[in-house]
Amino acid sequence: MKILGLFRHAKSDWGDPRARDFDRPLNERGRAGAAIMGRHIRDHGVQWNRVLSSPAIRCAETIELACHASGQPVKVNWDRRIYLASSVTLADVLREQDDDPSAILMVGHNPGLEDLIFDLVPDDGTSSLRDAVEEKFPTACYAVLELDIDRWADLRDRCARLVHLTRPRDLDPALGPAF
């Protein structure tokens, strides 16, 4: 069995219309969300053997703030292919992981992360967590999947169970959508 964590970058700033998408930083709500989720990820208790991330500024800031808040620095493996990647590309990145770490945390973007959940977790009507992802996989959301595989190279559709899902607003309602 392998464990896959998916952590979507926190809320980014759209204030500079000249900024490239890749270069957008986090906004104030995003910084708060990254910090609270960093503490939650630490407290959830999975020991991540490898962290893979898009190098986009909003992902880098999300990891930096999450690690700072959790008091647990991590080595990040930056992979440009994760930036705005499709679920197919994300699965390929996972299949290529050598030395078969038991638990990988991937930090990236939607719709790729959300679609990866839909590809890996069967829609059999029994997962309320999968239903929640269908509703929305918001910024700074954290999901954990257990995969029925022995090697990352064996990753295939419908091989996982979604066992954990937390959104920033679950921990602090002020970090939810503004109405």
pLDDT in tens, 48-95: 999 999 999 999 999 999 999 999 989 999 999 999 999 999 999 999
Place of tokens 């630490």: 42
- Please, what is the Cα angle at 154 between 81 and 129, to 5 degrees? 75
Q: pLDDT band for 166, please (50, 70, 90 cuts).
A: very high
Pairing assessment for the beta strands 142-147 and 160-166 based on DSSP bridges: antiparallel
**C-alpha distances out from residue 56 to 18, 20, 79, 108, 125, Å:** 16, 10, 10, 9, 35
Q: What is the pLDDT of residue 17?
A: 81
Domain 2-174: CATH superfamily is Phosphoglycerate mutase-like (3.40.50.1240)
pLDDT in tens, 21-40: 999 999 999 999 999 999 99
Show Cβ contacts of residue 13 under 8 Å, excluding neighbours closer than 6 positions. Answer: 24, 25, 26, 27, 30
CA 66 to the chain's CA centroid? 12
Q: What is the pLDDT of residue 177?
A: 78
Query: 83 vs 178, which has greater pLDDT?
Result: 83
Is residue 87 within 8 A of residue 36, CB to CB? The reply is: no
Domain boundaries, the chain: 2-174
Q: What is the pLDDT of residue 32?
A: 97
Q: Retrieve residue 72's tokens.
A: 């647990």
Mean pLDDT of 151-164: 97
